[in-house]
């Protein structure tokens, strides 16, 4: 954590602050009580962090914090700064987030949400679980969240903006969706973006589906031990080695264990 503390807000009728983008050019007037203005003021007043790349997009009429250099870090953190205001992730720029007394705001580096997989190397025909998670800045952790559409996709060579949807499902009350794919290959899995005209998913997690590996076949004959008093054994049984191997593979976890990392026999 670079900074934590209370910050005094300018007066409600304070004059807008002129901010110049990192690339130079004309200054842009920003409300004095905007989160960006407050961060700019805080930047000057302390030594824990510095906004080192502040970009302005005229097409959106909004600023974008690209890079922040944190004193304790060797390199600046760029490209993934998000903010949260009173428990909400706003969809508008940080210069439009107007603060009032008592507001709680977080500026953090990373994705607002992600998909956690039970395995990133699943097997054809074997179910696996995807969990939609949302970042909780209060606890600095990702927590399961419901209602999002989780999708498995592959790139569309004819349309780079919209992938090919292989399978989709809405996260349940536990934030989970169970998928089973029947074709080996490489896929991406992510959360469908809200309000996007394209069927885009973000962020993406790579997923590999491998074919079920069978043994070379054959069978073994199991002869039961003699019964009590040396009685003749019961009828023999045949076990299909290929099916036995497939059964074990289906039960095996991604780390090679069965049910528990302690049970590898």
What is the secondary structure of 32-87 as a DSSP string?
A: TTBHHHHHHHHHHH-SSEEEEEEEEETTTTEEEEEEEEETTSSS-EES-EEEEETT
Give the per-residue pLDDT at 27. 94
Mean pLDDT of 61-75: 94
Domain spans, the chain: 17-109, 113-210, 213-265
Residue 221 above 80 pLDDT?
Answer: no
Instruction: Write out the two tokens for 231.
Output: 């009685």
Residue 63 above 90 pLDDT?
Answer: yes
Confidence tier at 224 by pLDDT (50, 70, 90): low
Comparing 138 with 249, which gets the higher pLDDT?
138
Lowest mean pLDDT among 20-24, 144-148, 159-163: 159-163
In the chain, the percentage of residues whose pLDDT exceeds 70 is 85
Residue 229 above 80 pLDDT?
Answer: no
Residue 235 above 90 pLDDT?
Answer: no
Q: What is the three-class DSSP state of 256? A: coil
In the chain, the percentage of residues whose pLDDT exceeds 90 is 70
Residue 51 above 70 pLDDT?
Answer: yes
Residue 114 above 60 pLDDT?
Answer: yes
Give the per-residue pLDDT at 194. 76
Q: What is the DSSP string of 23-44?
A: T--S-EEE-TTBHHHHHHHHHH
| Average pLDDT of the residues of the chain | 88
| Strands 185-191 and 149-154, bridge-based pairing | antiparallel
| Strands 81-85 and 164-170, bridge-based pairing | unpaired
The CATH class of 113-210 is mainly beta
Residue 52 above 60 pLDDT?
Answer: yes
Mean pLDDT of 154-173: 93
Mean pLDDT of 140-158: 95
C-alpha span between 246 and 214 (Å, rounded): 6
Q: The tokens 């706003």 sit on which residue?
A: 90
| Strands 219-222 and 128-136, bridge-based pairing | unpaired
């Amino acid at each position: 954590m670079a900074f934590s503390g209370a910050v005094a807000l300018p007066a409600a009728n304070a004059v807008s602050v002129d901010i110049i983008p990192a690339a130079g050019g004309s200054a842009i007037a920003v409300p004095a009580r905007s989160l960006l203005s407050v961060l700019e003021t805080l930047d000057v007043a302390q030594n824990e962090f510095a906004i080192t790349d502040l970009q302005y997009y005229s097409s959106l009429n909004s600023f974008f914090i690209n890079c922040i250099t944190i004193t304790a870090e060797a390199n600046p953190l760029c490209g993934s700064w998000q903010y949260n205001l009173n428990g909400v992730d706003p969809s508008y720029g940080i210069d439009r987030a107007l603060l009032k007394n008592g507001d709680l705001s977080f500026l953090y580096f990373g994705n607002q949400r992600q998909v956690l997989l039970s395995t990133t190397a699943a097997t054809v025909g074997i179910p696996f679980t995807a969990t939609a998670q949302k970042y909780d800045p209060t606890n600095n952790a990702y927590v399961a969240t419901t209602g999002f559409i989780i999708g498995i996709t592959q790139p569309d060579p004819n349309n780079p903006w919209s992938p090919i949807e292989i399978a989709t499902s809405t996260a349940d009350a536990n934030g989970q969706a169970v998928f089973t794919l029947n074709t080996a290959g490489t896929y991406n899995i992510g959360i469908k973006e809200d309000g996007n005209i394209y069927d885009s998913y973000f962020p993406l997690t790579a997923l590999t589906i491998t074919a079920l590996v069978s043994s070379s076949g054959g069978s073994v004959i199991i002869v039961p031990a003699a019964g009590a008093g040396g009685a003749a054994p019961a009828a023999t049984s045949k076990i299909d080695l290929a099916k036995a191997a497939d059964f074990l593979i289906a039960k095996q976890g991604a780390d090679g264990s069965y049910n528990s990392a302690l049970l590898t026999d």
